[in-house]
Amino acid sequence: MNKYIRQHLKKMIAAVIIISVGLFLGFNLKNINNKPGDGNLLKSEYTGGTSSVKEANEIQELKIYDTWTHYTTGNGLPSDKINCVKADGDRIWIGTDKGLAIMEGNRITEVYHKEDGLAHNNVVSLEVSQTTGDVWIGTMGGLNRYSAGKFETFNQFNSGMPNDVVYQVYCVDKYVWVATGGGAGSYDIYNKKWEIFTEQNAPMHEPWTYGISGGDGKVYIAAWGGGVIEYEMETGQMRDYVDPDEEMEIDLFPDDGVVHDITTGTSYAEGILWVGTYFGMSRYDGARWKGYFDHDSGLASNFINFTKAQGKAVWLCTDNGLSNFNGETWITYRPVPESKKGEVIITWGEDKKTLITNSTISHNFIWGMDFQDDVIWIASAKGLSKGEASGKLMANAD
């Protein structure tokens, strides 16, 4: 298969996926009837598993989120479709398809729309600058900076930003990085200048970038159909990580690189790069790649919307639940269909145990998540979920 055909095949497959995803406007229809759960944990029970699974005292070392609280339009949110969530001290910023909300003390205190200064009502990414404390808001119609109670808008026409569709924002030092529908961009907040990266000056096939993260002096760009672009901030040097087998349908040679060139997000922490795709997940420790799929691991689904590293572990937001992986153990959360209960699936290799809980995440289609001390916040297709680990689940497990 020559290069010309491969490039057009990539574009055809990407087009099909674009229609399916609906540019953040659609859900996983086969799971849309799953009802959200509520209430605290009342009991737990084991289902499945084999005799070779770790003993109960070892299981108790795992942190299981078993107590969930849900927030919807009934609590003051502008929409139940939550695209992103960001913890900022005691405040929680919540991006929906119909506006931006702020929660303080488990109560919605502010809601903002386009008439209040938002570039667009569909908010798809949030970031807080550790340098300035400003909140950066990626929307489907531009980028906002929220500072001192006021919104400032950046777009292609007033600032030279690469594109107005901002899928993800990442702040480091004096730079604000964006992944957009027309390339990646780096904004110097002191000099007020953009540097743009597209297929013209970076090793990517086309200018559609979907995710961005960084650490240890590097930035990692998820380039749609082009794998991952690594940018070294000190030197400006770039390199790409792709799937070397160039097969779009399957991962022909395991662990030879990124599992697929259609990447949706990156996240880096403690020397490990995690890469989410719509066809599985990859882990890179600087020397070796390892791929994971839903058919051979505890991954909830190969269709990964968002990737968030935490220490040496990673959280994966998929179209069929939320997964956490620490390199050895998988923990997956999803609602039980037609029930308010949830299942927590613990997987070690080929062994598995399922715990049934009396509360669960709002929906199994997850768009994003963040951490607030010992609490996790989950953005889903049917509301915002707050997860806490009560410790009762493991104490009651026999």
Q: Which residue, chain included where needed, has tokens 């901002």?
A: 166
> How far is it, in rounded angstroms, from Cα 223 to Cα 53?
39
The Cα angle at residue 371 between residues 294 and 303, in degrees rounded to 5: 20
Tally the C-alpha atoms within 13 A of residue 299's C-alpha that lie toward its C-beta.
26
Task: Please state the rounded mean pLDDT for residues 231-238.
Answer: 96
Task: Please state the rounded mean pLDDT for residues 335-352.
Answer: 91
Q: 340 or 233: which carries more pLDDT confidence?
A: 233
Task: Please state the rounded mean pLDDT for residues 203-229.
Answer: 94
Tokens of 376: 């996790």
pLDDT score, position 216: 96
Q: What does each C-alpha distance from 60 to 31, 57, 389 come to in angstroms?
A: 31, 5, 12
Report the percentage of the chain scoring pLDDT > 70: 81
Mean pLDDT, the chain, integer: 86
Residue 4 reports pLDDT greater than 70: no
Of the candidates 133, 187, 122, 201, the one whose C-alpha atom is nearest the C-alpha of residue 156 is: 187
Domains of the chain in sequence order: 76-330+366-383 (2.130.10.10)
Compute φ and ψ for 230, nearest 5 degrees. -100, 125
346 pLDDT tier (thresholds 50, 70, 90): very high
The lowest-confidence range among 59-73, 297-311, 325-339 is 59-73
pLDDT score, position 270: 96
Helix (H, G, I), strand (E, B) or coil at 235: coil
Residue 361 reports pLDDT greater than 90: yes
Pairing of strands 67-71, 383-388: antiparallel
Region at 76 (left for phi over 0; alpha for psi -120 to 50; beta for the rest): left
The DSSP 8-state label assigned to residue 20 in this structure reads: H
pLDDT score, position 59: 58
The lowest-confidence range among 33-42, 97-106, 347-356 is 33-42
22 pLDDT tier (thresholds 50, 70, 90): very low
Residue 264 reports pLDDT greater than 50: yes
Q: What is the pLDDT of residues 46-100, one digit of tens each?
A: 444 444 445 454 555 788 999 999 999 999 999 999 999 999 999 999 999 999 9
pLDDT score, position 297: 96
